[in-house]
Amino acid sequence: MTVTNPVTNLQTLIRCASVTPAEGGALTALADMLRPLGFKIERMTASELGTPDIENLYARLGTEEPHLMFAGHTDVVPVGDAASWSHPPFAADIADGEMFGRGAVDMKGGIACFAAAVARHIEKHGPPAGSISFLITGDEEGPAINGTVKLLQWAAERGEKWDASLVGEPTNPDRLGDMIKIGRRGSISGFITVHGVQGHAAYPHLADNPVRSIIKLTEALLERPFDAGTDNFQPSNLEVTSIDVGNAATNVIAAKATAAFNIRFNDTWSVDTLRAEIIARLDAAAADQALRPGRPPTKYDIAWSDRPSQVFLTRNNALIASLSSAVENVTGQRPALSTTGGTSDARHIKDYCPVVEFGLVGQTMHMIDERVALSDLETLTEIYQTFIQRWFENADI
């Protein structure tokens, strides 16, 4: 296997049908790429009651510091309607200069390119003056319970320490070189329940309609901005994602109403302060009787999602400058340093070392006919190769 070629690397990985939670042979294929380069390969299976077992991989080249970690995932989302694909989703067909296949962009392409970059670095310079590791999970696209979180804990318990991490998620919106992610907004989800009294719609005095109250409560969350944004983050934003009464009858007042919401927040807030703000808004709305004349104050329950994500921002000159200069050197474009978008496994890695994200163009991820330009695979490999060299030169900054 010619590991220096990102195209053949990616074809091998795509042809492994690793839809979460199936390993599908993808981790085995990656191990076969890395082992000839001198990596020590370890496989770890994580379990938790009520969730599928997940196979993960940790590979390390070298034993000395500084230590650079590349992180990512080989699992992919389902293909959807396979008949709608112009090429079979796990065939890795090449047509008109593009490779088609589930995971081409998100994110087997990034893994294929980083493996090729390490191989080229070794071919040109010999092993790095330090250590490089691959921390690869199999459930980033699924529950994300038995993957990166537990793999990081497992490795740290064995004495592994990292000086920096690069996550190979597809960060570029339009073309390679557009964007490096240097942080992520936090995320909290919540669920509000208002209990009313079920009754006949023609006799509202005998019932208590919870719809009136759920509307008031959700309006309280939406009507006033949480902040105006900060130097590094856009304004915090809350979206009500569901309002439901579970009522199929038009002449029945429902017994309860529920609403779900999600807020992506910046560094103005923490999980605790934002939860307190949300409850304060709900309490004020619940006490307002404008929609409930003659009724007692609204009583509501709120439940929070189990795993909120804290906001974070990476401030590490060696890491950010090395990657930015590598991108500019290869593409001629200075990348924007961004914190936009959703969450990623970087939110877990930040607790162990500074982390940034850079990968392919994300326009087709999760779509029918997910695909990547072969030229982008070569360009990303060159960027990663340049980054590896510059990071080890600058790691003591």
Strands 300-304 and 186-195: antiparallel
- For residue 393 the two structure tokens come to 């030169």
Among 139, 140, 141, 382, the one annotated catalytic: 140
- Choose, from 23, 75, 169, 370, the residue flagged as catalytic: 75
Alpha carbon distance 368, 83 (integer Å): 10
Residue 75 falls in the annotated catalytic set: yes
Rounded CA-CA distance 73/102 in Å is 13
Instruction: Report the chain's terminal Cα–Cα distance, integer Å.
Output: 36
* 140 is an active site residue: yes
CA atoms within 13 A on the CB side of 266: 17
Q: Fill in the DSSP letter of residue 298.
A: P
- Quick check: 343 and 188 in contact, CB under 8 A? no
- Rounding to the nearest 10 degrees, give the CA dihedral for residues 185, 186, 191, 192: -80
- The residue among 179, 173, 250, 180 whose CA lies nearest residue 211 is 250
Q: Of the candidates 18, 1, 195, 6, which has an alpha carbon nearest to the alpha carbon of residue 102?
A: 18
Across the strands, what pairs with 240? 261
* Residue type at position 199: G
Map residue 191 onto helix, strand or coil.
strand
Whether a cis peptide bond, with omega within 30° of 0, leads into 21 is yes
Question: How many Å apart are CA 109 and CA 76, to the nearest integer?
Answer: 12
- Cβ atoms within 10 Å of 126's Cβ, excluding its own: 8
Query: Catalytic residue numbers?
Result: 75, 140
